[in-house]
A and B are shown apart, each in its own frame.
Chain A
């Protein structure tokens, strides 16, 4: 079965640089979520999109922005990167019906030097 695809899988950036993370949800899923997981931490919700519209926003820094495109893929744009942005970034997708779980992608490991 198709899973959530994320790219790149690993990314190394310098402080103050920008990064773009991409997410391709499971086909026919209409909702995408982004989560950030620091080392040894639980995942923290950043932002979500339902049918290409932003549906909820969590603890996402103003330096970050995201969007969902017409083909349902989503991109997380991160600017002025800081050391503390180093983390695993997960995208998850779901079909917004009762009982549907969120399926997580493999994650992008971002290291800011």
Chain B
């Protein structure tokens, strides 16, 4: 059974600081996704990572993928309050299934 683990689950940080969220998954997978969710809202796609060594950046967020270590990271640079949200990583299911298996999410709070 595919398992996806994120850490930390809760992250409180000051504006201007850097931090990294980690996502480990248990079996090989074709794709890894990062989503953002604001309270009571939908999931917004941030990144899709397709291959080993893939790195994508958008604004203050940068995601990377190491398929050998089954690890993805979401790095936050110089955090601002608007980044406060819950961030989920997700992986394609096994056996060619395209259903997403999500991590528990990281609730990020950026304090002024």
Contact = CB atoms under 8 A, between A and B. Distances in A.
Interface of A: 31, 33, 35, 41-45, 48, 55-56, 58, 88, 90, 92, 94, 96, 98-107, 109
A101 B47 CA distance: 8
Nearest to B50: A99
Nearest to A88: B40
Contact of A42 (B41, B88, B98, B99): B88
A66 to B, nearest CB: 13
A96 B99 CA distance: 12
Contact of B98 (A35, A41, A94, A104): A94
Given A99-B31, A99-B48, A101-B48, A42 B102 contact: yes
Given A33-B99, A56-B98, A58-B99, A101 B33 contact: yes
Interface of B: 30-31, 33, 35, 40-45, 48, 50, 88, 93, 97-105
A98 to B, nearest CB: 7
A56 B100 contact: no
A106 B102 contact: no
Nearest to B6: A42
Nearest to A48: B99
A104 B101 CA distance: 14
Contacts of B98: 31, 33, 48, 55-56, 94, 96, 102
A103 B104 CA distance: 19
The 4 A-B pairs of least Cβ separation, nearest first, read A42-B102, A45-B99, A104-B43, A101-B45
